[in-house]
Amino acid sequence: KKNFQGPFKACHHLVKPQDFYRNCLYDVCLGDGAKQILCPVLEAYASTCKKHGAVVHDWRTPSGCRKPWLSSLVYV
């Protein structure tokens, strides 16, 4: 946040992170730092960045957010 470097740096000039950051900070504080809040917010920002044509680098590893499994997969 402080220097806007990291996996989203190419996006910050296209999609301002301030609203995402404020909303995330508020929700994560209310949720006691819960990953189930942080990860969807980061996913939403990454998706919005990609829709605007920004290259988003791996944000899941540093944030500890694993890619969700597709619920439509059925193992036989």
**Per-block mean pLDDT, blocks of 10 residues, the chain (76 long):** 72 84 77 74 91 93 78 52
At 69 the pLDDT is 60
At 52 the pLDDT is 94
At 51 the pLDDT is 95
Say what the pTM is.
0.70
At 54 the pLDDT is 93
At 50 the pLDDT is 94
At 31 the pLDDT is 67
CB-based burial label for 47 (10 Å; 0-12, 13-18, 19+) = exposed
Kindly list the domain boundaries of the chain, sorted by start residue.
17-67
